[in-house]
Amino acid sequence: MKKIAGIFVLSLGLLLSYSSMAQDKMLTTEDAIYMNPAIYPVRIPQLQWMPKHDYYVYAKHNNLYKVSAKGNSETLFLTLDNLNEKLAQNDFDSLKRLPRISFLNQKEVVFSSKSKWFSYNTETHLLQNFADIPDSAANIDFNKKSKYIAYTIKNNLFISMNGSTVQVTHDDNPGIVNGQTVHRVEFGINTGTFWSPDGKTLAFYRKDETMVADYPLVNIDTRIATVKTTKYPMAGETSHQVTLGVFNPETGNTLFLKTGEPKDHYLTAVTWDPSGKYIYIAILNRDQNHFKLNKYDVTTGDLVNTLFEEQNPKYVEPEHPLYFNPENPNQFIWISERDGFDHLYLYNTKGELLKQLTKGNWVVTNFIGYFGKDRVFFNATKESPLQQNIYSVSLKGGDVKRISPDHGTHTGLVSYDGKFIIDIYSNSEDARKYILLNNKGKEIRVIKENNHPLKDYKLGKTKIFTIKPENTPELYCRIITPPDFDSTKKYPAIVYVYGGPHAQLITDSWLSGAGLFLNYLAQQGYVVFTLDNRGSANRGRDFEQAIFRNLGTLEVKDQMAGVDYLKSLPYVDSTRIGVDGWSYGGFMTISLKLKNPGVFKVAVAGGPVIDWKYYEVMYGERYMDTPQTNPEGYKNASLLNYVDNLEGKLLVIHGTMDPTVVWQQSLLFLQAAIKDGKQMDYFVYPGHEHNVRGKDRAHLYTKITDYFKANL
């Protein structure tokens, strides 16, 4: 039996106290990709705290204003005219709009324009052009302390320093890549360079992928189509090898840390010691079930010691750096889910665990930082898996204190001394709101009210609830019903699915995480249903790891429990149920349709994984092991083995230059359907990568909508 527990219901337009206003506008596909600025949630451009001050700044009308947190006094701090006057005096091009401003210190700011970098002293009004980098520069990494800039051109690494350029690497072979990300962002690292604490020494990734097979992507923009090759190591195949170099600009030498064998391991959690003498790296084996947190000497490259190790029969995920205590450089916080949930652990640099700072059946989702002498701030799901509130805890231990006063999904900007917090949040009622708090969570004032961007639109009701299938944890669900909903009528339904790790579709945020396209579909007369199955994020290790080695099994079972609930609703036409998803959601869409013949009349799958042996090595092996060690799991997950179950309508969509889920995946499925005499629909977006971006996304949304309208 399924237990149904209602959590909350909202009707955008009815519960927002705007019943007296006209609500007759309908969304368009252009609205759904936010081409209409009028429906953006309110935002405050360039909002940031000034260094060592209880003042924050923000931009308005090409001016930067300074506001006192204590007194709420507001003064003009910097104007576009100020900058253009100084630029003209120095024969530089003027700016059309206020550039992105960052603080170097209390008096000095930095900005860039057309690859030129400037500092500007707001007291002396001195403007300095301290760096020029090429237009072709990528992976730009600016350091505030030294004003050095690391960047890459193609596969090599450069540094702009003191008005000159230093080429760090000189690799002619494009299979050697320097200064760029080397492992998927699931490891939490989105850079390939790491500045030392003083900003004068640079650590960087060097990826050797010469041993990895070339994978062809076809570029049709040339008169005779050309092949653009990429390195794409597939699960079970030869993987790339990564080392970490340390470049000293004073000597011009690069030292590589002795991270050992086998070379196809993963180097994660790269963190400089506050002294600048050591670097810490979590060395994760290729099986991803065991890592060692190692300390290396940057002058010799030698391993100093292993602080601790973590392992799990399934996998471990060192996704965060070490967070060193600025008041005590011999202590750091490590985030681990060793007890089943991501929590904060206080260590010393000997590798001794001093204390576990947080504990419970909830997840720390983000470390905000140290503030004051002994407190840290972080985001967590302590109140509900749907929420991310702001909390603080003392390094001495004790109770975790909630700071953000309202429910929802919160981002905290904390002043340098930790006395004030700007809480930026959304929830089921507010698209976005900015409030100023003290460090105990007391509201000082509202900085920016929610603007109710959809108050004039005719939207349906959104409901979040849980179901409890037998022998299964509670599963969160979301339903959006059409405007002018009539419970005595029968409506077609669309299941929107993702279902994979590191994603959560249902949240206590604006539109309950649904976004505009799903509300657009509801406006077209569909009941839109979503469920976060086992394997999805923010429910703890066991919930996510339940799908290990058997992708497409428990997730499908959980989704079908949601479909059973959907079919039980008197207003849902059980003969007209569709399903839609992209990427992992594309894999889930086709899995649901083929493994449950007759249930889904229509399916639309974008960028789908068809067979995990064609997927890339890190993600594929983390969740499935290798095809050699888990042949049964790969066989059961391969959608090529279920083509004979295809019936009804299926549309598969793919970008022809997809480097994430390669085009080969869906082409193999199309080939198998043809061989089996099965009819399906197929559409490509030439030149697009893993997702359809820009204005073409409106075309994609129209394509999906029209397919459901014609067939569902």
Positions marked active-site = 583, 658, 690
**Residue whose structure tokens are 């977006």:** 685
Q: Count Cβ atoms below 10 Å from residue 11 Cβ, excluding itself.
A: 16
- Record the tokens describing residue 694, joined without a space: 């820009």
- Number of residues assigned to the chain: 712
Own/partner contacts of 136-145, CB < 8 Å, gap of 24 or more, are 139/179, 139/180, 139/191, 139/192, 139/193, 141/191, 141/193, 141/195, 142/110, 142/117, 143/195, 143/199, 144/102, 144/103, 144/104, 144/110, 144/199, 145/197, 145/198, 145/199, 145/200
Residue 631 phi, psi (nearest 5): -60, -35
Q: Count Cβ atoms below 10 Å from residue 121 Cβ, excluding itself.
A: 14
- For strands 572-582 and 491-496, give the pairing: parallel
Q: Count Cβ atoms below 10 Å from residue 633 Cβ, excluding itself.
A: 20
Let me know: does 703 contact 32? Beta carbons within 8 Å: no
Quick one: DSSP state of residue 563? H
Which helix (H) or strand (E) segment holds residue 518: the answer is helix 515-523
Cα(696)–Cα(686) distance, rounded to whole angstroms?
A: 11
First to last CA, the chain: 29
Cα(308)–Cα(203) distance, rounded to whole angstroms?
A: 23
Q: Count Cβ atoms below 10 Å from residue 164 Cβ, excluding itself.
A: 9
Cα torsion at 650, 655, 657, 661 (round to 10°)? -60
